[in-house]
Amino acid sequence: MHKKYHKSDIIAMGQELIRTQGYHNTGINDILTACRIPKGSFYNFFASKEDFGRQVLEAYGNQQWNYLDDILGDTADSPLTRLQKYYRMTIEGNQRESFKNGCMLNNLSLEIGGLNEVLAQEADVQFNLWIQRISQCIQEGQDVGEIRKDYTAYELAEYLHMSFNGGLGRSKIQRHAMGTERVFDMTFKFLQGM
Amino acid sequence: MHKKYHKSDIIAMGQELIRTQGYHNTGINDILTACRIPKGSFYNFFASKEDFGRQVLEAYGNQQWNYLDDILGDTADSPLTRLQKYYRMTIEGNQRESFKNGCMLNNLSLEIGGLNEVLAQEADVQFNLWIQRISQCIQEGQDVGEIRKDYTAYELAEYLHMSFNGGLGRSKIQRHAMGTERVFDMTFKFLQGM
DNA sequence: TCTTTATTAGACCATTCGGTCTAATAATCA
DNA sequence: TGATTATTAGACCGAATGGTCTAATAAAGA
């Protein structure tokens, strides 16, 4: 069937708007205007703004998971190098935007995590999937002796990613890489038991 | 002069609303209703919502700085113990709210840090003041040999606080202490060179 | 005292909010 | 084919948005 508009396009546009402007600061009309679709089509695809937000979060999570998997799955590099490559590339991506946006999952966790159960749960699901993927690579690093073994791979993965998110917040108000760089440096030191 | 309403009361109420609901999700009318003041009085004290937000951020920063200074200045405990006490108490405070709110400075950094220059700068100022206070205590810990010396006190202070903020985000979507506890545990291990 | 300024008070403004509704159209299935 | 369903289209809804305006009142300074 030939549809004029596609749900995935609306989600992609909404993802970009919410990532850069926030959830409460992005109105349905912003999305309609950006996609040039009538309101009826939007509400044909999505039950509510909350439902839309949930699907945006899910799509973002999947998309970033694939990106993560691409880098961490490239066994040309050692496990630790792959992890460093991922966060290095994330810093560079944010650098290009002057750290103004950051990670949508991280942003929405703080903006709506305490207010909306549905969105908080979706964020948690996606976050856990990332951590699992990172954990797998850390386990490989532990197996080859690159990463300390006095913590489980999962614990270290959580720590690594949470710390990095904290750095992104600082970089956002400073519009500067310092926060994320500091966290990058020290957390990887810790992972290596240094 | 006898004033019916006081700016500080409005700021205190707005602080609570913004901390729990976010900046964009809190309307001027929410504040007026909560304080039972007419709109004219609000705009007599504040030039705009942005101006109000800036002053709320400033007041929150000062308030939390005093709390921080109280604990870190109590030389009955060792420097490291004082630092642990501060973050331990912060975890407990958040626990009481099921981690639904978190730190207003951290929340607003992500919500408006990339959108509003004025608020981002105020957040940065307050953040830096906290880091300086924490840094001072870390320096004391380094002096007595409790804390590693291969990084400056300031670098370690930034790392400690940024990591903790990252943990708060995770705890917020999980409504659980795990994120902050994990970060607490590992970051303090790192500070001790373990 | 008189003048000036700060404060209180809330009606009012245009705009935007998320969401509903009806009607027309297009595609699918029986 | 005819009936059914999905989609497009946008006018419309009440409520809320940040902000302005005028008027009344209270306090301070000359």
Q: Are A99 and A172 in contact (CB under 8 A)?
A: yes
Residues 6+ apart with CB under 8 A from A39: A28, A32
What is the rounded average pLDDT of the residues B131-159?
98
Q: 111-130 in B: which are within 8 Å (CB) of A?
A: 111-115, 120-121, 123-124, 127
Residues of B in contact with A162 (CB under 8 A): 163, 166-167, 169-170, 179, 182-183
- The pTM for the full model equals 0.96
Q: Are B183 and A190 in contact (CB under 8 A)?
A: no
Mean pLDDT, chain A, rounded, equals 97
Q: Are A167 and A116 in contact (CB under 8 A)?
A: no
Q: Are A69 and A133 in contact (CB under 8 A)?
A: yes
3-state secondary structure A98-113: CCCCCCHHHHHHHHHC
What is the rounded average pLDDT of the residues A77-82?
98
Q: Please report, rounded to a whole number, the percentage of residues in chain A having pLDDT higher than 70.
A: 99
Q: Is the pLDDT of residue B2 over 80?
A: no
- Can you give the pLDDT at residue B131? 98
Segment A54-63, tens digit of pLDDT: 999 999 999 9
B179 contact A CB<8A? yes
- Can you give the pLDDT at residue B3? 78
Q: Please report, rounded to a whole number, the percentage of residues in chain A having pLDDT higher than 90.
A: 97
- Supply angle C-alpha B177, A187, A151, rounded to 5: 60
Residue B6, CB, less than 7 Å from strand D? Answer: no
What is the rounded average pLDDT of the residues A54-81?
98
Q: Is the pLDDT of residue B1 over 90?
A: no
Under 8 Å CB pairs connecting chains A and B tally to 149
What is the rounded average pLDDT of the residues B112-129?
98
Q: Which residue of chain B comes nearest to A172, CA vs CA? A: B113
Distance from CA of A68 to the nearest CA of B (A): 19
pLDDT band per the 50, 70, 90 thresholds, residue A3: confident
Which of residues B75 and B4 earns the better pLDDT score? B75
pLDDT band per the 50, 70, 90 thresholds, residue A2: low
Q: Is the pLDDT of residue A1 over 70?
A: no
Per DSSP, B23 falls in state S
- Can you give the pLDDT at residue A184? 98
Cα separation, A179 vs B106, whole angstroms: 13
What is the rounded average pLDDT of the residues B118-141?
98
Per DSSP, A73 falls in state T
Q: Is the pLDDT of residue A4 over 90?
A: no
Q: 26-85 in B: which are within 8 Å (CB) of A?
A: none
Cα separation, B116 vs A109, whole angstroms: 20
Q: Which residue of chain B comes nearest to A162, CA vs CA? A: B166
What is the rounded average pLDDT of the residues B31-42?
95
CB neighbourhood size of B136 (10 A): 17
B78, B138, B178 from B194: Cα distances, Å: 18, 16, 21
Residues 6+ apart with CB under 8 A from A61: A105, A122, A125, A126, A127, A129, A130
Q: Is the pLDDT of residue A85 over 60?
A: yes
Q: Is the pLDDT of residue B137 over 70?
A: yes
State, as a whole number of angstroms, the distance between the CA of A29 and the C1' of D10: 13
CB neighbourhood size of A81 (10 A): 14
What is the rounded average pLDDT of the residues B16-43?
96
Q: Is the pLDDT of residue B128 over 80?
A: yes
Segment A91-128, tens digit of pLDDT: 999 999 999 999 999 999 999 999 999 999 999 999 99
- Can you give the pLDDT at residue B4? 83
- Can you give the pLDDT at residue B74? 98
Q: Please, what sign has the CA dihedral across residues B95, B100, B105, B110?
A: positive
Cα separation, B96 vs A27, whole angstroms: 33
